């Protein structure tokens, strides 16, 4: 069990630096990791170096937010060429949307008498790809909610007072962008989507893999998704989705997959390029 393919740093909504991430991976005995920050690959060069120092294989990646028939899905792109201009431009665009969305969420909070300031969120986030977890942490720090989960339950979940819809590309566009940037596309945490038809729908637009093993999947869910992946000709992958210390103890390495799945995923990459 060598690999954890779903990890975040402080370049998006995690708390680890790339070096802390590599150290934690080393302590866990991981041999392969992927950095999948939301809408940014800024942490990848540093993570690559830090992993090399530990003899850990590193996969540059990102987690994109996409739309599937009105539902939000997350698509992981692995082995991406961050210098590919269309990818670089798209990530910049998504980061701008995220920054504007922070202003909109704070305005909505203010409208329901929560006097949170945009600056406190942006200072705390201190990154190009801020998101709801940063707003949640700022709400906790300001004493407006008791904890992180309460921030989501009261204000930030879809349909709650501070929830702001996000302009997204379609799942098909996300998969195409990932392929064009030399990568492979994996549907993240299928078990977290309220409407399960999104899995087949995203699979039909050229997906390469399905994240069967995830920290929020039960053992039963994982086995069902593994079966489904086999039926649909997708590679089974997995990762912890560790956000550092932002949600209690770091969970890096608590979900890990054998190297063979990573090799299979990598083979899809050369196959896609033919």
Interacting residues toward Fe ion by CB under 5 A:
13, 74, 188
Is 241 one of the binding residues for Zn ion (CB under 5 A)?
A: yes
- Closer Cβ to Fe ion, 74 or 154, answer by number: 74
* Position among 26, 54, 157, 176 found at the interface with ligand AMP (CB under 6 A): 157
For 33-45, the DSSP string reads EEE--BT--TTHH
- Closer Cβ to ligand AMP, 16 or 268, answer by number: 16
- Closer Cβ to Fe ion, 13 or 20, answer by number: 13
Q: Distance of CA 54 to CAs 21, 25, 36, Å?
A: 11, 9, 19
CB of 55 to Zn ion, least distance (A): 25
Rg of the Cα atoms in the chain? 18
Residues of 233-257 as b/e, b for ≥16 C-beta within 10 angstroms?
A: ebbbbbbbbbbbebbeebbbbebbb
Asked whether 109 and 155 are in contact (CB, 8 A), the reply is yes
Is 152 one of the binding residues for ligand AMP (CB under 6 A)?
A: yes
Q: What is the C-alpha to C-alpha distance for residues 237 and 233, in angstroms, rounded to an integer?
A: 13
CB of 224 to Fe ion, least distance (A): 19
CB of 117 to Fe ion, least distance (A): 23
* Position among 10, 31, 132, 217 found at the interface with ligand AMP (CB under 6 A): 132
Give, as ranges, the residues between 3 and 32 that touch ligand AMP (CB under 6 A). Answer: 13
Is 208 one of the binding residues for Zn ion (CB under 5 A)?
A: no
Give, as ranges, the residues between 45 and 64 that touch Zn ion (CB under 5 A). Answer: 63
* Position among 18, 60, 131, 238 found at the interface with ligand AMP (CB under 6 A): 131
Residue with tokens 């202003």: 103
Specify the DSSP class assigned to residue 194. Answer: S
Q: What is the C-alpha to C-alpha distance for residues 181 and 179, in angstroms, rounded to an integer?
A: 5
Segment near ligand AMP (CB under 6 A); pick from 21-29, 80-88, 127-135, 253-261: 127-135
List, in order, residues 6 or more apart from 198 with CB less than 8 Å away. 68, 69, 71, 73, 190
* Position among 18, 133, 238, 253 found at the interface with ligand AMP (CB under 6 A): 133
Angle at 189 between CA 185 and CA 191, to 5 degrees: 135
Give the ranges where the chain is alpha helix by DSSP (H): 18-27, 44-54, 85-111, 118-125, 132-141, 148-151, 171-180, 197-203, 219-232, 259-273
- Closer Cβ to ligand AMP, 52 or 149, answer by number: 149
Segment near ligand AMP (CB under 6 A); pick from 49-57, 128-136, 227-235, 266-274: 128-136
What residue ranges bind ligand AMP (CB under 6 A)? 13, 38, 65, 131-133, 149, 152, 157
């Amino acid at each position: 069990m060598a690999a954890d393919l779903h990890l975040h740093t402080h370049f998006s909504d995690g708390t680890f630096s790339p070096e802390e991430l590599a150290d934690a991976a080393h302590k866990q005995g991981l041999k392969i990791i992927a950095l999948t920050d939301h809408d940014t690959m800024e942490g990848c060069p540093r993570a690559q170096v830090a992993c090399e120092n530990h003899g850990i294989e590193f996969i540059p990646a990102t987690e994109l937010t996409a739309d599937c028939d009105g539902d939000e899905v997350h698509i992981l792109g692995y082995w991406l060429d961050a210098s590919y201009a269309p990818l670089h431009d798209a990530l910049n665009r998504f980061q701008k949307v995220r920054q504007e969305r922070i202003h909109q969420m704070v305005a909505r909070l203010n409208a329901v008498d929560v006097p949170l300031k945009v600056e406190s969120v942006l200072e705390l986030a201190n990154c190009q790809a801020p998101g709801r977890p940063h707003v949640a942490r700022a709400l906790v720090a300001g004493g407006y909610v008791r904890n992180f989960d309460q921030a989501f339950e009261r204000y930030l979940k879809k349909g709650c007072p501070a929830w702001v819809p996000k302009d997204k590309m379609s799942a098909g566009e996300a998969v195409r962008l990932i392929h064009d940037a030399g990568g492979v596309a994996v549907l993240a945490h299928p078990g977290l989507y309220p409407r399960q038809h999104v899995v087949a729908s995203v699979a039909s637009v050229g997906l390469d893999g399905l994240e069967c093993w995830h920290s929020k999947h039960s053992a039963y869910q994982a086995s069902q998704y593994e079966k489904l992946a086999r039926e649909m000709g997708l590679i089974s992958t997995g990762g912890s989705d560790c956000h550092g210390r932002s949600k209690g103890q770091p969970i890096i390495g608590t979900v890990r997959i054998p190297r063979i799945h990573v090799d299979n995923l990598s083979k899809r990459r050369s196959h896609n390029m033919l």
